[in-house]
């Protein structure tokens, strides 16, 4: 396993979340991966799943780390199913594809039968009370 602290980029907000120098509503953690609530969610329970190792893209992640990352993604999806059986998994790669944080992350976006939530309208910041309720619902193994 790569040492996440050694592999960190000090200017990367997701590395700061891994290092606990930036706040986040963390719902899952293992040796190699972390999942937390997106602070500007598309839908209720929108999650981000990251490898602790700072890499910008999936194609930068060493193959030896693929299995652990996919395993973490599946575990987080199983937790997202507590909110809804239906969800999107998204991966934006590159600025023209909408990537704004250049630390690899899958989005897990629960769907509740609402209209298309992916419009480019501004998203509301996650309310504190809702975040706490979601962390309680999603943190248990």
Which pair of tokens denotes residue 42? Answer: 């598309």
Member of 2, 26, 39, 61 binding ligand AMP (CB under 6 A): 39
Cβ proximity to ligand AMP: between 1 and 22 the closer is 22
Asked whether position 92 contacts ligand AMP by CB under 6 A, the answer is yes
Angstrom distance (rounded) from CA 23 to CA 103:
16
Q: Does 93 bind ligand AMP (CB under 6 A)?
A: no
Count the neighbouring beta carbons within 10 Å of the beta carbon of residue 24: 20
How many H-runs (helices) and E-runs (strands) does the chain carry? 3, 5
105 is catalytic: yes
Q: Can you give the binding site for ligand AMP, defined by CB under 6 A? A: 13, 22, 24, 36, 38-40, 48, 92, 98-101
């Amino acid at each position: 396993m790569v040492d996440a602290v050694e592999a960190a980029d000090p200017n990367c907000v997701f590395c700061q979340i891994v290092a606990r120098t930036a706040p986040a509503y963390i719902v899952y953690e293992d040796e190699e991966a972390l999942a937390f609530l997106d602070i500007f969610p598309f839908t209720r329970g929108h999650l981000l799943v990251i490898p602790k190792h700072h890499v910008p893209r999936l194609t930068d992640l060493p193959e030896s780390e693929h299995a652990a990352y996919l395993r973490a993604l599946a575990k987080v999806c199983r937790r997202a199913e507590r909110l809804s059986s239906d969800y999107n998994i998204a991966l934006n790669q590159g600025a023209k594809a909408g990537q704004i944080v250049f630390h690899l992350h899958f989005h897990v976006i629960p769907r509740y039968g609402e209209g298309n939530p992916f419009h480019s309208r501004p998203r509301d910041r996650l309310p504190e009370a809702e975040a706490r309720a979601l962390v309680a619902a999603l943190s248990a193994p």
